[in-house]
Amino acid sequence: MPIYKLEPLRKVWEQEYTLWGRIGTLLGLKRRVTDAELAEWKELIYNSCTLCGRCSMVCPVGNDIVAMVRKIREGMAAAGHAPAEQILASKRAVTQGSPMGVKLPTLQAQIKRLEKETGSTIPMDAVGVEYMVILSSMEIMSFPEYLSAIAKIMLQAGKTWTISSEAFETTNSGIQIGSSDIARELVSRVVNAAEKLAVKTVISPECGHAYTAIRWE
């Protein structure tokens, strides 16, 4: 169950922040969490949680489990136990603007192809429009029809919208890996782009961690 992923965090809390836990650790009755144990927990803490937040939403006693999963990831990343793939994805997100390494020319090529195929218009860097749409790299690469669907909906609804060439990526690798600094940097890019283009609203795809980052943090 989701809460089980937090077992190393619970152990550390008990040993560091409770009186009996501290006494037990001092007397050698409780074993400290080791690096080897953390390495074993990597699979459950990272690979088996998308940070969707559904467990927090339905928890019968109101535990915000996803917030604690993020907290334990902060510890795992700081202890050097983040998965290698995720470290690379975070680096790409910071240096290239996308965890999958999807750069602006790729997005522009997809837009050009879609506009040609569907006859729809997909605006880039339009100033003063109502909505700025952000995307995940996965959508750009694997589900580009998502973009032409948005174009059709906006046209039908009579709404103005745009994509920003400076912040088109939704995925927040900082939150995924457990690094507040990277998370802040990636959210700031979206906020800065939205302010620069003077849009009223940012639309994020359905994505538990990315929506949380943009909406609440």
| Residue 6 interacts with ligand SF4 (CB under 6 A): yes or no | no
Helix (H, G, I), strand (E, B) or coil at 60: coil
Q: Which residue has the tokens 């522009």?
A: 108
Residues 6+ apart with CB under 8 A from 119: none
| Residue 159 interacts with ligand SF4 (CB under 6 A): yes or no | no
Strands 161-162 and 201-203: unpaired
Site track 65-84 with ligand SF4 (rule: CB under 6 A), x = hit: xx--x---------------
Amino acid letter, residue 30: K
Cβ 69 to ligand SF4 shortest distance, Å: 6
Q: Which stretch binds ligand SF4 (CB under 6 A): 63-71, 163-171, 178-186, 199-207?
A: 63-71
End-to-end CA distance of the chain: 27
> Residue 217 CB: number of other CB atoms within 10 A?
11
Cβ 93 to ligand SF4 shortest distance, Å: 20
| Residue 207 interacts with ligand SF4 (CB under 6 A): yes or no | no
The full length of the chain comes to: 217
Site track 11-50 with ligand SF4 (rule: CB under 6 A), x = hit: --------------------------------------xx
**For ligand SF4, the closer CB: 53 or 144:** 53
7 and 38 Cβ atoms separated by less than 8 Å: no
Residues of the shown chain interacting with ligand SF4 in the complex, contacts defined by CB under 6 A: 2, 49-55, 65-66, 69
